[in-house]
Structure 1
Amino acid sequence: MRKHTETIVGELSTVWSCTSFGAPELSAYAAPVIAGETRRGVALLSLVALLFLLLAATVSAVFNLGTGYTYTYSVLSALALHIYVSSARVEQLRALYLLAMLLLIVCGSALVLLAQRVGQLHTILLLSVAVLIMLVPVVPWGVREAAMTLGAIYLMFTASTWLSSYRFAALDLWVLQCLMLIAAMISLALVGRALGLRKHDLALRFELERAQRELTELANRDHLTGSWNRRHLEAAFAGVVARHQAAGLPSWFGLFDIDRFKSINDSFGHATGDEVLRAVHAAFGQLSADEHLARLGGDEFALLMCGDGVPERAARMLASVQDRMRVPLPIGAKVTVSLGLVRLPERACPAFDAAYPLADELLYETKRAGGNGMRIGAAPEVAA
């Protein structure tokens, strides 16, 4: 019994609020989705209410129920149309809830006043009350907001009809009570069920998208060093350079490799060679979000950096590779690097395939000069 009660309480707490997800990351992911769904829900609520109110106004006029019925339903139709138009311009979730509550409660108040004026709970009024309450689940809100709206409508109708100076028939009053209570329970059950499914769906979508991002990153990472791979750099190249240019920062593209890397593998083993490659990645650990280090293959790496001090920064990072090794090389052995660095033009920047041979040529100039150095050049603008 206790376990069953705890289960019910847990389910109720889940559907009590539509914005409460527990995990901050999931809440941030769900917030814009819920806002969009709520906006569409309020628009649908007002549209359905508009159609029903126009139909009720037409029936009142055709069957000569009185000008009070026709006028009331016509004015409420205008309100529903106004809410429909307003819902498209409102951004805040709470304001959207208030619009929906306003429509339902004002409609309920108008129907109460109409019943008091005519002194009769007409069939069309009872139908209007049922429709009013059954429209509540159309809006994707939590049980809390739905219960507040339904409670306001119920209390308003109950107080106005039982305490009214008009003497409504006892049967009509009890029919109204049963109608409201049954419709309210059905509406709350539908709201809770829909919200539970919506939260479950959002949680699944969040986990699926996160898993997809992780898989994409794994596919774009070099498994040995953790650096980006060539596939990622080629795909991101144009966008990264464009962001550098938008920030007013010069872009630099470089290629480098480790001097005499084959002899390191041959002399000290491939495990030591792998450690050197990992140390390269560690040396560039201070890159910004829009700067990239990519392993193109073997001991060849590519750099995409921004700023005026890039040559000096890159030189310091490369000089620290040996210090980043967890297992140092034997005494007398040293890791040196050759780098070719190209400053990209601020406008009409070449694509990756065009920038690569420029940096590659500078790299081989460094290698022909004995390695352990850097050559810097500038890429020409691409002709329009």
Structure 2
Amino acid sequence: MTRVIVAAGGGGDAVAAVMVGAALYGAGEPAVILTYAWDRLLVDPVPGPRGPGDFTGLRPLTPHVLAVPAAAEPVAPAGSTLPRLAAELPHTFALIDPHHGARGIARQVGELVDQLAPESVDLLDVGGDILARGDEPTLKSPLGDALTLAACCRVDAPVRLLVAGPGLDGEIPADVLRDRLGAPVATLAPEHVEALGAVLDWHPSEATAMLAATARGVRGLCEVRGAGLAVPLTDEGPTVHEAGLEEALERNELARAVLDTTGLAEAERHSREICGFSEIDGERRRAARLGARAPAGLDPDAALARLDRFQADARARGITHTTFRRIAEVLGLNGTLRLDLRDLLLARRPEQYEAPLWRVPAEV
């Protein structure tokens, strides 16, 4: 028996697919997880999603679907978390190639259905921004979701749309999403997080980290990257809901616009017209700034002093938790230094680690 899970928006959704699959089908159930290689400059300094030509060692599953095994390697200077996920998790990670637009992704999903005859096909989004209209001012990353939503609506097979952790991506609030969701089909629990092993110790996705934390019972207010956005950690956090696929397409103007696209540049043009931006343009600008900046070093004592000041300010704003990615942002650290920072904090202040989040103490 094989399940196919399409990770709607990127690497974080692929990690969440392991938890959701464990909750819905059992931890030992094999799955093919079709996902973008799109690490948003954290691991990959090259803007936008990677395609098959950006890897060596890929393994064919169908004529247009390639698996990313543990032995695969991104072609420098690109980077990717997918080979490490394949090394640490007992699932098959296959590469979404958005460079042929929604029609190309639909062809990939269709080939998997024809070749594998899977027991189920799920389209999974963490947070629920796949249910957006496209004009919301808080929307930050609509393009990947719109392409996978449009593609799955083109597939001649039943596809179930699932939203895990409503509001946890910090883009569309849970209160706004509530009327767009069906009843919960699962609630994640600590045993479902355990299916990930040690992945959450290094994977950079904030939304999936908060999903896992709420499944473990963490509650409060978590500050994430980007101007200190605060995301509530509530009992709704670990829930997984089904949503109407066709209704989502009807609502999502960008997904409707990219329905017949055959290239990524074409999809980007629609995003600029409908949403007012392309998230890949933002990555291009940030990559240019990072490339012109000398890399910062990690001074342990200076980092801890700056962390104390940040925590005092955060606690005054009612923040109870934050992510390592947000701390690295505050300290001006990028790339591998984020993991060095994590190691430093766990060594010096292990009592503040509420895996996989960082607890802001009541008194700093």
State TM-score, norm by structure 2. Answer: 0.20
TM-score by length of 1: 0.19
Higher Cα Rg, which structure:
1
